[in-house]
Structures are given as structure tokens and as C-alpha cells.
């Protein structure tokens, strides 16, 4: 369970917020990957097997948040492409086509960040590969992706009944979870939350439909920012509003607590991260990272982290 909000209509920068909602810690690391890294679509070694794995060498450096040490679920690259993997129960990647190189769902986003500079380029890459279903820690990686680029372009990528479904355009700024994006848009059209008023009833539930509608309502109310600081605060406020608080029996209806929130500033290549169990917001300036060697990383569960953590990154071995 997660939420993504893109703000591509202000005069300051292109901003995206996301929440990570999950039944347990995803063991996140904030990682800087250099360009030129060789990868394959079934790493770590022995995690899954496939007769035709995708193999590539990264064209772009990236700054990402990893999940379970097995792949990437959020982040952006130096060229100005960002992406976010969210859960979609109805995901169906379809039967294996052995003629297409395969990449497992945990590395799907990382592949696109490694190789594409824009949303359009990323969509072209989708014609050449097949995403493979995996499970980790007892959970299926039923993902759909939201992509955006420094020009404000956006796309939502899903697999429904084994078929690739893409919504491509600047207008696709919101995403949560089930139902599929077609159905979410139909539900949103029943009441125009993009035209908020004080009389409009606003859903307060934590389910994906309510969060989608609430994100639409508050996104429409964002004031024109006078600075990057104001814009970041505005997006983070929405992400807090659509987060799932601790304490209620959400597991009973398939919704989980929010583990962390991120805000990406694509224009200035900055990444803001808020762990829900910490009172501190931390951030990274990608342009200051030393990405001329191997991967470098920070563990956001380090209680000493606060503010700018760009200088706190250290070499870190990852299996992908």
C-alpha cells in the first residue's frame, strides 16, 4: 500500500511525494549507484532462475531507496527520470515469453533508471523486456510503476491480465493501489476532487480509493510556492495526510502502516526522506555525492541522522 503525488504545475521545480506502506520494515537503504554498473535481471545470484535474463550496463547514476536488499522501489537518476514502485494486488505479468529478456519485479524500476533519461525512453524500453514475478519475505512483488521526468512528463505502468497498460501524460499525477488505474480514474470522475470546496465531503479512510481522492483534493489546494523550501513542505504535508497512522487494526482489511515518506526534487536533484518512527527529515544532494566508485549508502534507521546527510554516505556492497 502506498501513495504517489506529482506536482508538475508550479514555477519552482518538478516535485514528487510518495509513501511506503507495508506490514513490516522493508529494510530500506538510501543508495547512490554509479553509472557503468553491470547488472542482470535475476540477481541476487540464486534468487530466481531464468533461461533468458536481461543483462545491461547502467548508462546513468542513480539515487534510490532499496527494498529488502533485493531491488529498488523509489528514486531518480542523474538524467532527470524518477520512478516509484507501488503495490497493486491485481498485477498479472502474464506467462513467460522466453524470447524476451526477463527482469524480476524488484529490479524493474532500477533497470529503467539505469537506461532511460525520460519517461518516453523508459516506455520504449518496456517493449523489449518481460517483468518476472517474484516473492520476498512471504509477499508477492505485485508492482505497478509511476514515472516522471524533469520536463514534467508522467506515466503509470501496470500489467493487467498479462497485458501491459500505460497511462502516459502530464495529467497522471496521482497513484495509490487497487483497483487498477482505469477504475481509479472512473471513481475519481464521480466527484471532481480537483475542484475542492468547503462543502465537499472528503473521504477519511486509509484505503487506496480514499487516499487517491484525498490526494487529488489537497493537490488542487497547493498554493504557488515562493521557494523550494515552501514547495517541499507542501508536498510533504500531502504525503503525511495520505499516510496510514500506527495503531489501528489495518491488517484486517489489507492496509498497512506507513514506514516512510519521500519527496523528490527532480529539478535540483535532491531527495528528502522521512522515516515515520523518527522525528527527523533527512535529505541528499545528488550532485555532491561521490559516485565514481562502487555503491554508497546510508541506513535511514540510523538515529543520528538529521538534515543534510549527503556527507554521511559510505561504501556499501549490494547484491544487485
Pairwise CA distance, residues 256 & 55, whole Å: 34
Q: Which residues pair with 2 in a beta bridge?
A: 20
- Tell me the mean pLDDT per 10 residues along the chain, length 320: 95 98 95 97 86 97 97 98 96 95 97 98 97 90 97 97 96 95 88 77 88 93 96 97 83 83 98 95 97 96 96 96
Number of structural domains the chain divides into? 1
Let me know if residue 6 belongs to a domain: yes
d(CA 122, CA 265): 19
Distance (Å, rounded) from C-alpha 209 to C-alpha 191?
Answer: 12
Q: Judge if pTM exceeds 0.85.
A: yes
Q: Where do we find the cell 514475478? A: 133
Q: Is the residue at 80 inside a domain?
A: yes
- Domain annotation covers residue 180: yes
Q: What is the CATH classification number for the domain harbouring 59? A: 3.60.60.10
Determine the Cα–Cα distance for residues 318 and 168; give it in Å rounded to an integer: 32
128 and 100 Cβ atoms separated by less than 8 Å? yes
Task: Print the SS3 string covering 33-70.
Answer: ECCCCEEECCCCCCCCCCCCECEEECCCCEEEEEECCC
> Is 33 inside a domain boundary?
yes
Cell numbers for 147 = 514515472
| Residue 299 lies inside a defined structural domain of this protein | yes
- The predicted pLDDT at position 220 comes to 93
Any domain includes 82: yes
For residue 64, the tally of other CB atoms under 10 A from its CB is 26
Q: pLDDT tens digits for 244-255? A: 988 766 777 778
C-alpha R_g of the chain: 18
How many residues are given for the chain?
320
Do 39 and 320 contact (CB within 8 A), yes or no?
yes
CB atoms under 10 Å from CB of 128, counted, come to 9
HSE at residue 265, side-chain half, CA atoms within 13 A, is 26
Structural domain boundaries enclosing 118: 2-315
How far apart CA 80 and CA 50 sit, in angstroms, is 31
Residue at 206 is within a domain: yes
In 3D, which of 261, 257, 195, 267 has the Cα closest to residue 227?
Answer: 267
Residues 6 or more apart in contact with residue 299 via CB below 8 angstroms:
29, 30
Is the separation of the CB atoms in 239 and 19 below 8 Å? yes
Distance, in Å, from the CA atom of 116 to the CA atom of 113, rounded to the nearest integer, reads 6
Residue 320 inside a domain? The answer is no
Q: Please return the burial class of 38, using the count of CB atoms within 10 Å of its CB with bins 0-12, 13-18 and 19+.
A: exposed
Amino acid at each position: 500500500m502506498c501513495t504517489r503525488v506529482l506536482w508538475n504545475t508550479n514555477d519552482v521545480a518538478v516535485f514528487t511525494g510518495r509513501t511506503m506502506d507495508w506490514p513490516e520494515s522493508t529494510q530500506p537503504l538510501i543508495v547512490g549507484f554509479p553509472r557503468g554498473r553491470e547488472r542482470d535481471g535475476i540477481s541476487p545470484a540464486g534468487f530466481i532462475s531464468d533461461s533468458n535474463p536481461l543483462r545491461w550496463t547502467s548508462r546513468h547514476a542513480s539515487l534510490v531507496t532499496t527494498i529488502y536488499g533485493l531491488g529498488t522501489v523509489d528514486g531518480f537518476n542523474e538524467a532527470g527520470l524518477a520512478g516509484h514502485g507501488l503495490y497493486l494486488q491485481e498485477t498479472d505479468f502474464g506467462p513467460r515469453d522466453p524470447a524476451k529478456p526477463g527482469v524480476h519485479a524488484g529490479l524493474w524500476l532500477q533497470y529503467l533508471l539505469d537506461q532511460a533519461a525520460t519517461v518516453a525512453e523508459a516506455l520504449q524500453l518496456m517493449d523489449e523486456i518481460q517483468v518476472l514475478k517474484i516473492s520476498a519475505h512471504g509477499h508477492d512483488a505485485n508492482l505497478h510503476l509511476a514515472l516522471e521526468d524533469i520536463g514534467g512528463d508522467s506515466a503509470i505502468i501496470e500489467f493487467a491480465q498479462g497485458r501491459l497498460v500505460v497511462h502516459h501524460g502530464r495529467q497522471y499525477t496521482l497513484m495509490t493501489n487497487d483497483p487498477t488505474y482505469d477504475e481509479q480514474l472512473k471513481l475519481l470522475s464521480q466527484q471532481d476532487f480537483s475542484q475542492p470546496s468547503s462543502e465537499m465531503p472528503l473521504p477519511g479512510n486509509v484505503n487506496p480509493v480514499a487516499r487517491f481522492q484525498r490526494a487529488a483534493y489537497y493537490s488542487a489546494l497547493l498554493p504557488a510556492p515562493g521557494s523550494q523550501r515552501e514547495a517541499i513542505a507542501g508536498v510533504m504535508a500531502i504525503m503525511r495526510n495520505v499516510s496510514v497512522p500506527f495503531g489501528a487494526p489495518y491488517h484486517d482489511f489489507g492496509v498497512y502502516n506507513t514506514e516512510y515518506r519521500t519527496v523528490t526534487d527532480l529539478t535540483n536533484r535532491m531527495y528528502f526522506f522521512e522515516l515515520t518512527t523518527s522525528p527527523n527529515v533527512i535529505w541528499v544532494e545528488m550532485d555532491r555525492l561521490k559516485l565514481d566508485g562502487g555503491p554508497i549508502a546510508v541506513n535511514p534507521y540510523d538515529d543520528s541522522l538529521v538534515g543534510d546527510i549527503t556527507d554521511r554516505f559510505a561504501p556499501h556492497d549490494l547484491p544487485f
